[in-house]
């Protein structure tokens, strides 16, 4: 039968490896340098400019000890989870993906990725702030094709809109992170949330409009002169507290009677694993709040409710952003121990 190594298992392996540096019976790891001689092309297949790939066998290991000149223990503070580095393009020319829990070969990201961690659903700014994309504006380019200013907020309580995208602040790379771990391809990621983050398991993220529908008022064409916002529309599912506001387009605006926007307004909704927004609930709340009677006689709106990850957005940035990679940092600086390796 088919089998896969899940991303959760890969993260677990990375987590266990990282923990092995600091647990009570810690495993010792060392960085060493050696090889004082040149690589002889005739015997090893490599050269000084293109060294050969080290073989993984016992004989080669013995030779490493013979060639070793210096070594240094890698300490626990020199180890961190890492994620692929994705820099923000503020030119307005780049389309990013969005976070969602159900990417597969039959439901791919805007980029075509079939898994969440192959998609481009987060970015880091030039100021080293990391943001997760919760809604990518229907797959449009961030900034709408025009240059825009990178976000600068470090408030992780509420998502906000930048360049037409809904994003959430995750964390900021410290000076130590940048100096010790940031590379052109990878960047460090913490396993704990920032201090002001409100993390709720199964919290609702965004509501996507899959069918806008066409509404009528009092049995006739929609003739409301301004966009109408229907509040306190319940989101049904196996969690609690979900509420949304729904905007119905005005008459003559090109979206007459259609659903143009849905905004989650609840702040303490949680514990959802499945959720839905029903046209019947929009109708009920509209007719309570307004004099005319709303109906969707021919084209009924439909929605897709996106639910956050286990623990909530920002509860474990490394786990949420694909931190099943490990970066290690240690430096050999002049003479530190005054010791010589004399035996294997």
pLDDT of 52 over the 80 cut? no
- The predicted pLDDT at position 247 comes to 97
* Of the candidate ranges 61-75, 141-155, 172-186, the one whose mean pLDDT is the lowest: 61-75
User: Which tokens sit at 170?
Assistant: 């995750």
- Give the model confidence (pLDDT) of 289-332 as tens digits: 999 999 999 999 999 999 999 999 999 999 999 999 999 999 88
pLDDT of 29 over the 90 cut? yes
3-state secondary structure the chain: CCCCCCHHHHHHHHHHHHHCCCCCCCCCCEEEECCCCCCCHHHHCCCCCCCCCCCCCHHHHHHHHHHCCEEEECCHHHEEEEEECCECCCCCCCCCCCCCCCCCCCCCCCCCCCCHHHCCCEEECCCCEEEEEEECHHHCCCCCCCCCCCCCCCCCCCCEEECCEEEEEEEECCHHHHHHCCCCCEEECCCCCCCCCCCCCCCEEEEEEEECCEEEECCEECCCCCCEEEEEEECEECCECCEEEEEECCCCCCCCCCEEEEEECCCCCECCCCEECCHHHHHHHHHHHCCCCEEEEEECCEEEEEECCCCCCCCCHHHHCCCCEEEECCCCCCCCCCCCCCCC
Contact of 303 with 222, CB cutoff 8 Å: no
User: Which tokens sit at 193?
Assistant: 């949330």
If we measure between CA atoms, which residue out of 316, 11, 311, 268 comes closest to residue 170?
316
pLDDT of 41 over the 60 cut? no
- Give the model confidence (pLDDT) of 190-240 as tens digits: 999 988 788 899 999 999 999 999 999 988 989 898 999 999 999 999 999
pTM of the model: 0.90
- The predicted pLDDT at position 337 comes to 67
- Give the model confidence (pLDDT) of 155-192 as tens digits: 888 899 999 999 999 999 999 999 999 999 999 999 99
- Give the model confidence (pLDDT) of 88-114 as tens digits: 999 999 999 999 999 999 999 999 999
pLDDT of 40 over the 70 cut? no
- pLDDT > 90: percent of the chain: 74
| Angle ∠(186,187,191) on CA atoms, nearest 5 | 125
User: Which tokens sit at 33?
Assistant: 């340098």
Can you tell me the distance from the alpha carbon of 84 to that of 62, in angstroms, rounded to the nearest whole number? 35
Domain boundaries defined on the chain: 204-307
- The predicted pLDDT at position 341 comes to 60
Mean pLDDT, rounded, of the chain: 92
- Give the model confidence (pLDDT) of 266-299 as tens digits: 989 999 999 999 999 999 999 999 999 999 999 9
């Amino acid at each position: 039968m088919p089998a896969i190594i899940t991303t959760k298992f890969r993260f677990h392996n990375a987590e266990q490896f990282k923990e092995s540096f600091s647990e009570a019976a810690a495993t010792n790891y060392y960085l060493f340098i050696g090889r004082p001689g040149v690589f002889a092309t005739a015997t090893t297949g490599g050269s000084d400019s293109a060294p050969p790939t080290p073989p993984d066998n016992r004989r080669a290991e013995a030779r490493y000890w013979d060639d070793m000149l210096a070594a240094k223990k890698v300490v626990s503070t020199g180890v961190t989870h890492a994620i692929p580095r994705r820099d923000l393009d503020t030119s307005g020319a780049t389309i990013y993906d969005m976070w969602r829990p159900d990417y597969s070969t039959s439901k791919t990201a805007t980029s075509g990725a079939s898994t969440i961690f192959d998609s481009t659903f987060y970015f880091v700014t030039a100021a080293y702030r990391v943001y997760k994309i919760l809604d990518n504006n229907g797959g449009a380019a961030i900034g709408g094709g025009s240059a825009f200013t990178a976000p600068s907020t470090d408030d992780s309580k509420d998502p906000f809109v930048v360049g037409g995208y809904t994003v959430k602040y995750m964390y900021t790379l410290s000076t130590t992170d940048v100096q010790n771990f940031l590379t052109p391809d990878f960047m460090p990621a913490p396993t704990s949330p920032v201090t002001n983050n409100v993390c709720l398991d199964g919290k609702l993220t965004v509501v996507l409009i899959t069918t806008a529908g066409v509404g009528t008022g009092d049995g006739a064409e929609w003739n409301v002169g301004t966009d109408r916002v229907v509040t306190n529309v319940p989101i049904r599912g196996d969690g609690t507290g979900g509420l949304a506001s729904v905007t119905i387009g005005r008459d003559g605006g090109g979206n007459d009677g259609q659903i143009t926007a849905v905004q989650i307004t609840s702040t303490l909704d949680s514990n959802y694993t499945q959720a839905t927004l029903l046209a019947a609930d929009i109708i009920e709340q509209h007719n309570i709040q307004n004099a005319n009677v709303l109906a969707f006689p021919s084209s009924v709106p439909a929605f897709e409710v996106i639910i956050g990850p286990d623990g909530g957005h920002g509860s474990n940035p490394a786990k949420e952003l694909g931190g099943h990679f490990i970066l290690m940092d240690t430096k050999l600086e002049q003479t530190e121990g005054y010791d010589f390796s004399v035996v294997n």
